[in-house]
Structure 1
Amino acid sequence: MDEEENESMELPFSQDTFCDLWNNVITPSISFIPTSPTVPQCMLDNLFELGGEMDIKDGFNPSASTVPVTTDYPGDFGFQLRFKQSGTAKSVTSTFSEILNKLFCQIAKTSPIEILVTKKPPQGAFLRATAVYKKTEHVAEVVRRCPHHQNEDSMDHRSHLIRVEGSQLAQYCEDPNTNRQSVTVPYESPQLGSEMTTILLSFMCNSSCMGGMNRRPILTILTLESLEYGSCSPSLSLIGPSRGQVLGRRCFEVRICACPGRDRKTEEENKDKLQNGAKQTKKRKSTPAPEASTVKKSKSASSAEEDDKDVFTLQIRGRERYEMLKRINDGLELLDRESRNKSKASTKLDVAVPSSGKRLLQRGEKSDSD
């Protein structure tokens, strides 16, 4: 009887079980649901049901890859970069080399980069700039500023090498899996009368800084990405880092130095010398070497064809020098005449005498009959 009375009795609203209370409460957003191991089973069941109903797009990439892709990819939107022509003067703070696909800039100086697309990206698209090491033996390491420049900076993101200037919407992210750092900024459509959008990047450490890049070449990967769920904001850290679907990608090398114009000119000249040297080497290898017999024949033929009767005029300054060279020339002429006389005499002696019959008479000689 007591049990039936207890079952028929209804507890006040404040004394219901936790599962009953949970079922009567409006389910909050997934970003604010705690993940404590002491959560009751009924709460976890509802959480899993919510997770199954979430619509996740196919292109979502939850985290950055361990080895970033550094090949250019214009994508469906024709994503391109363009740099202003600054030349190689010593006074420039930023200059880009088309030959090297390399940006030369000074530390903490603004480098404008123009963004061009063939059609408008989707709503909420953003740009991401990431620095990686160029060589394969260093590509797994994270590019950070040196300790010296970090200690001098008071910003929250002082360890980031790349900084976006002129925008309050820039967000500095660090991937929890790879620890790679990047900075994002929303994509802005070109203003009226313009075909491109300009972003301002600054590089906050020299390429030669010890404890940082330490003269190791780096690449900057600039990607155009679509907005997916997730953000760098700590309030949504349960979902994951902000990694959207890549719509386009461009890469270029960066050197942060004291004199960008001079270094650009030097590297372009060195590359030109290497290319010219390689071309000359290929030409020499392709041309077959002449045979030794051919060289000897050509030399003998050329010496035989030389004509001694050619007369050359030599201008001599000074009487004394003229007399000396004249005596040398006269002596050489005398030697030539003597050699010619000797050759004539030898030809006379070499005349063949018949073994029988009449003997040939020489000039001025009388015959026996006379």
Structure 2
Amino acid sequence: MSVEQFEAPETCIFDEMDVIAFHTGDPMWSSQDQNGMGQYTMQQVNNESVHDEEATNPLPDTVSAPNFLCNNSQCSDSDLNNITPSIAPIMFPRMKTGPPTRSSYKGPYEFGVMINGAHTHKKKFLWSTKLQRMYVDAECDFPLIFSWSAGAPQPAFVRAVVVFRDEDQSQHRVETCVNHKSILMTKNLPDCQLRNVLHSSREPGAADVQYSGGADEWYSTVVRFDNGLSTTHAYRFICKNSCTGGINRRAISIIFTLENLSGTVLGREKMSVRVCACPRRDMRAEEGAAPARRRPADARAAEHKPKKVKIEITDTDDDKIVVLPELRVRGISTAITTLEMMREFTVQHKRLSTDLRVLDEDASIIADLDTKLNELRSSK
């Protein structure tokens, strides 16, 4: 029996697709006739899509083939059963309904988001270490570095969702203002992209970028990464914080989540952002208005919390190893906090390096710091 070739439409909706699979360059599934029934072997994926659960259990190797439904096409279900692997569409995880979770979650693969400090003084975006906030102009491309440890699913997906920072606004979605939306409408973009204030810097229609949102879904931008433990992607904001009818002078943040194809969240980071016409002016004004941090009267009585350190990579990374002499420090908590910061910097440096010599040296430094940290903690 001859097999009729079917050209997949540009837009597809996948029915009951909590479990999807795709291999770049490989057949999406293979069929073996067994008692007249087609058996489909697909890339193993977790078939339980839970928004905030870790996906660490072994994943099944075999699931049933998906049913395809098409928009703007004259195809039938029988035609789609004959779809050829070479034209199978790229697939993305689905967005969960309701407000996204905001808490940070490193997950099983140590998911991280960083800003390359080498670009901040030259571009129209700045990072405030004091406020842990990015300041950026609208329509300005700002690159971010995403990293995760070995063993993460491939492909991996990073979802970016813009939310209002204040808790009393958490039930409201961030949408493009009327003015900027009308400008975007001339570009013939889908509605979920028109309403999304955060766009990928890639050209509209890029195969590895998908925009989603609608009904009770928050608007998001999903980028697919096929390989690598550290990769960069650039974004741009369409609206400013001051846009009337959109953000409307409310504080915002971006929530980044690392996900697999089934939509399971494997890591989460949140970044505070202000979109404005004069990033440097606004950053200086807000840093000046921020209250100074006061040291507790009894630092030893304060609850010890690990510090979150964000590395800003410079043009000339200093790889020289420095051996510190014996130093006297006031307070065990102070010494522990300082060593934890050193350890975090070394971990981030090791994650971004590809030099085997540097990787071995960083591993040795981390081991030494862990030994000293354990000694100090046991002496408290």
- Matched to 1:183, the amino acid is T
Pair 1:76–1:259, CA change in 2 (3 A)? same
Question: By percentage of residues, which structure has more strand?
Answer: 2
User: Does structure 1 retain, via aligned residues, the 8 Å contact 2:95–2:212?
Assistant: no
Pair 1:100–1:212, CA change in 2 (3 A)? same
Structure 1 residues 183-198: aligned runs within 5 Å: 183-190=221-228, 196-198=230-232
Matched, 1:200 2:234: yes
Residues of 2 paired with 1:259 and 1:80: CA distance? 28
Residues of 1 paired with 2:119 and 2:288: CA distance? 14
- Matched to 2:276, the amino acid is C
Pair 1:76–1:56, CA change in 2 (3 A)? closer
Q: Compute the displacement of 1:166 (Å).
A: 2.6
Render the CA deviation track for 1:2-35: whole Å, top value 9, x for unaligned. Answer: xxxxxxxxxxxxxxxxxxxxxxxxxxxx9579xx
Q: What SS does the aligned partner of 1:253 have?
A: strand
Pair 1:64–1:270, CA change in 2 (3 A)? same
Tell me the residue number matched to 2:154. 123
Tell me the residue number matched to 2:274. 255
Structure 1 residues 281-320: aligned runs within 5 Å: none
Pair 1:88–1:128, CA change in 2 (3 A)? closer
| Structure 2 unpaired stretches of 5+ | 1-12, 17-44, 52-93, 299-380
Residues of 1 paired with 2:123 and 2:50: CA distance? 41
- Matched to 1:256, the amino acid is V
Residues of 2 paired with 1:32 and 1:119: CA distance? 32
Match of 1:158 among 190, 194, 199: 194
Tell me the residue number matched to 1:216. 250
- Matched to 2:235, the amino acid is L
Tell me the residue number matched to 1:180. 218
Match of 2:284 among 265, 273, 279: 265
Residues of 1 paired with 2:286 and 2:48: CA distance? 44
Render the CA deviation track for 1:27-70: whole Å, top value 9, x for unaligned. Answer: xxx9579xxxxxxxxxxxxxxxxxxxxx9723445752533211
Residues of 1 paired with 2:49 and 2:219: CA distance? 21
Structure 1 residues 1-370: aligned runs within 5 Å: 57-61=47-51, 64-85=96-117, 92-153=123-184, 154-155=186-187, 156=189, 157-166=193-202, 168=206, 169-176=208-215, 178-190=216-228, 196-228=230-262, 244-271=263-290, 274-275=291-292
Tell me the residue number matched to 2:374. none
Residues of 1 paired with 2:14 and 2:179: CA distance? 38
Q: Compute the displacement of 1:171 (Å).
A: 0.7
Tell me the matched-pair count: 208
Larger-gyration structure (1/2)? 1
User: Does structure 2 retain, via aligned residues, the 8 Å contact 1:88–1:265?
Assistant: no
- TM-score after normalising by structure 1: 0.51
Residues of 2 paired with 1:116 and 1:180: CA distance? 24
User: Does structure 2 retain, via aligned residues, the 8 Å contact 1:88–1:260?
Assistant: no
User: Does structure 2 retain, via aligned residues, the 8 Å contact 1:64–1:175?
Assistant: no
User: Does structure 1 retain, via aligned residues, the 8 Å contact 2:137–2:277?
Assistant: yes
Residues of 1 paired with 2:178 and 2:220: CA distance? 18
Residues of 1 paired with 2:219 and 2:210: CA distance? 11
Residues of 2 paired with 1:96 and 1:221: CA distance? 17
Q: What SS does the aligned partner of 1:148 have?
A: helix
Identity of aligned residues (%): 26
Residues of 2 paired with 1:262 and 1:141: CA distance? 29
Q: Compute the displacement of 1:158 (Å).
A: 2.0
Query: Greater CA deviation, 95-104 or 145-154?
Result: 95-104
Q: Compute the displacement of 1:71 (Å).
A: 1.3
- Matched to 1:93, the amino acid is K
User: Does structure 2 retain, via aligned residues, the 8 Å contact 1:63–1:175?
Assistant: no
Q: Compute the displacement of 1:206 (Å).
A: 0.5
Pair 1:108–1:257, CA change in 2 (3 A)? same
Q: Compute the displacement of 1:187 (Å).
A: 1.8
Residues of 1 paired with 2:182 and 2:105: CA distance? 37
Q: What SS does the aligned partner of 1:69 have?
A: coil
User: Does structure 2 retain, via aligned residues, the 8 Å contact 1:225–1:247?
Assistant: yes
4+ residue segments displaced more than 6 Å:
none
User: Does structure 2 retain, via aligned residues, the 8 Å contact 1:84–1:96?
Assistant: no
Q: What SS does the aligned partner of 1:201 have?
A: strand
Residues of 2 paired with 1:108 and 1:180: CA distance? 21
Residues of 2 paired with 1:140 and 1:121: CA distance? 31
Pair 1:185–1:88, CA change in 2 (3 A)? closer
